Structure 1
Amino acid sequence: MRRFPLIIGFYLILAALFLAWLTVFIVYPRQQIAVKRFGQIMRVETVPGLYFKLPFIDQMVIIDDRLRRYDLPTKTVQVRGGAFYEVDAFFTYRITNARLFLQKVASGQPSTAEEVNLAPRFDDALRAVYGQRDFSAALSSARADMMQEVKQQIAGDAQSLGITIIDVRIRRTDLTKAVSQRTFERMRQEREAVAEQLRARGNEEKDKIIAAANREYEEIIAAATRDADIMRGEGEAGRIDILRDAIAVDPEFYMFWRSMDAYKKIKNLPMIIAPDSVFFKYLKTPDGQ
């Protein structure tokens, strides 16, 4: 009988501890906790710490307060002009209004909000932004503006769910295979046309250089021939003057020298000539008489 009050006290302490455990809850960093009573959200605790609730009546719903990311599956979008891109993009977000989020998303799961609410709006925004631009916009500096526009378009819908869009990123923008092939062929044709123009221009420049070189060559040859003819004429005139002066000094010796030179030239040349011809006068008499 003495031990019975101790047992009762022990169980009362256990019950009090269990009741206290059901009454107290802890909000950890990177999470928010909404306290619901009979299906109604009574309050939302966002600051880490120790809090109290009514046991068996109040229910806790934990909302992740960390930055979350959603990757959109690869989409084919059309740009202005009819070309198609394959686009990979994602956005990051955070649940900033847990009360509104739980009111709008019945399951309270961020994945549900991503798939049902945000993904379709994100897809529509990407198509709208790409559809307003030309083929090369996503590959230029305009890409940052495009991401900002997509963010602005989905931010309103996200705010209505208690979600704040932190950032939007376009990871990859590639042409579809068919468009890539057509683009490659067009670029190849353009490069070939440019190469042909360069070759034609080079050939034209080559012909000009060759023509100028040939003209300069002809001018040089003509000038050299002219100068040579002048020098040759002057030399011939000098030779004649020297020869004339030499003849004037000793005409007989000149005739003798010319005859000897002629004899030397016809040494191996067959000739039909009379032996008493004047041609052989210096062979008959040394003085040529």
Structure 2
Amino acid sequence: MKKYGPLALIGLILIAIAVFYDGFFILVEGRQAVITQFGAPVGEPVTEAGLHLKIPFIQKIALFEKKILIWDGDPNQIPTNDKTYIYLDVTARWRISDALKFLQAVNDEKRAQSLLSDIIDGTVRDYVSKNNLIEIIRSSDWSPETMSKSISGDALGVKPKLGRDELTRLIREAASQETVQYGIELIDVMIKRVNYIESVRQKVYARMISERKRIAAKKRSLGEGEKANILGKVQRTLQEITSSANKDAMTIRGKADAAASTIYANAYSLDPEFYSFQKTLESYSKIVGKNSTMILSSDSELYKYIQSVSGK
């Protein structure tokens, strides 16, 4: 007995430590726990962070997230009420609101994601198929001035009855009625992306190209008209300026000619003989060149002044 005394004591100490260690658990922030005994839940879920007690070895801890989680579904091809096929990519935020109910109905988050896919995808399909495309692609606060036309040419410049924000709210409310039984609170549902299927997308692109070409042709036509108007104004202004300048030039030239004639007349009246002589000399400079030969008769006016100058 004495031989095994220390070993038995050490064993008891180790067992006591194991019992003490397994009799407590620490719950960190952002997590919640459900205590189970032989697989069955015991008591209410533990949601407060800190040190908590449990029966060692008999009771186990099932831990779950308390923070908000993300569900991201796969894009689905869904027909709208106006027979337009679209790809819809939806996401949602959720959290475990009742850990006990979640453990009993779902057990783990992976299965919860799969369950949410069934619930949300089905609800989205129901609401999208009951509403027109305009309700999905436009918010309820869009103004008619910002709205264009659909691919079929129908005017969409009207305010949506619901709009995307209201439609997603209705989807969340409808899906929440099903998720609550699993201990899941659906916080919101959001449409990440809306796209047309390939055949419809080609029609959309063709219509967009046609619309842009029509707008470009209209802008170009307006530009050509404005260009012609500006050039017409420039030409008219140029003609007015040129005409006015010519008129002023002719007026100035007329006044100058009149003044010159008056000067010439006054000069002639002072000494007619000298004036005649001066004009004759000017004529000589214009008529006679360096290599010119001039033959004059004796009764020529030009010869008369040459003769008087020579003294003969």
The residue number in structure 2 matching 1:276 is 299
CA contact (8 A) 1:77 1:130 kept: yes
Equivalent position SS for 1:190: helix
Residue 146 of structure 1, CA deviation: 4.3
- Evaluate the alpha carbon distance shift between residue 201 and residue 147 of structure 1 in structure 2; reply closer, same or farther with a 3 A threshold: same
Alignment RMSD (CA, Å): 4.3
Q: Where does residue 44 of structure 2 map in the other structure? A: 45
Aligned match of 2:77: 76
Tell me how far 1:85 sits from its aligned partner: 2.8
Larger-Rg structure: 1
Following superposition, the deviation at residue 45 of structure 1 comes to: 2.7
**Residues of 2 paired with 1:282 and 1:100: CA distance?**
139
Kindly indicate whether residue 287 of structure 2 is the aligned counterpart of residue 285 of structure 1: no
The equivalent of 1:241 in structure 2 is 262
Deviations 1:65-85 (A, max 9, x none): 645543322223345651513
* Alpha-carbon separation, structure 2, partners of 1:218 and 1:288: 61
Residues 1:288 and 1:125: Cα distance change in structure 2 (over 3 Å): farther
Distance change in 2, residues 1:100/1:202 (3 Å): closer
Distance 1:44 1:185, change over 3 A: farther
**What is the match of residue 224 of structure 2?**
203
**How do residues 98-109 of structure 1 correspond to structure 2 at under 5 angstroms?**
98-99=100-101, 102=104, 105=105, 108-109=107-108
Gapped runs of 5+ residues in structure 1? none
Counterpart AA for 1:47: V
Could you tell me the TM-score, scaled by structure 1's length? Answer: 0.69
Question: Structure 2 CA distance, aligned partners of 1:111 and 1:266?
Answer: 120
How much has 1:232 moved relative to structure 2? 0.8
In 1, the alpha carbon distance for the partners of 2:102 and 2:272 equals 140
Q: Structure 1: which 4+ aligned runs deviate by more than 6 Å?
A: 24-28, 269-273
Equivalences for residues 246-257 of structure 1 within 5 A = 246-257=267-278
- Tell me which amino acid in the other structure corresponds to 2:307: K
CA contact (8 A) 2:171 2:189 kept: yes
Which stretch shows the higher mean deviation, 170-179 or 190-199?
170-179
Gaps of 5+ in 2: 143-162
AA at the equivalent of 2:308 = T
- How many angstroms does 1:257 deviate by? 1.7
Q: How much has 1:31 moved relative to structure 2?
A: 1.9
- Aligned pairs for 1:58-137 (under 5 A) are 62=62, 64=64, 66-67=66-67, 68-79=69-80, 81=82, 82-96=84-98, 98-99=100-101, 102=104, 105=105, 108-109=107-108, 111-112=110-111, 114-115=113-114, 117-131=115-129, 132=131, 133-134=133-134, 136-137=137-138
Alignment partners' CA distance in 1, 2:24 and 2:178:
31
Q: Kindly tell me: are residues 65 and 277 of structure 1, through their superposed partners in 2, closer, same or farther at Cα, counting changes over 3 Å?
A: closer
Residue 155 of structure 2 corresponds to: none
Identity of aligned residues (%): 23
Q: 1:287 to 1:209 in 2, by over 3 A?
A: farther
Q: Does the residue aligned with 1:64 lie in a helix, a strand or coil?
A: strand
Q: 1:201-247 deviations in whole A, cap 9, x for unaligned?
A: 33322222222222111111111111111111111111111111111
CA contact (8 A) 2:298 2:304 kept: no
Q: Which residue of 2 aligns with 1:228?
A: 249
Relative distance call for 1:113 and 1:224 in structure 2 (3 A) is closer
Query: TM-score w.r.t. structure 2 length?
Result: 0.64
Shift of 1:286: 4.2
Quote the Cα distance in structure 2 between the aligned partners of 1:96 and 1:84.
36
For the residues of structure 1 that align with 2:96 and 2:170, how far apart are their CA atoms?
A: 19
Q: 1:80 to 1:196 in 2, by over 3 A?
A: farther
Number of residue equivalences: 263
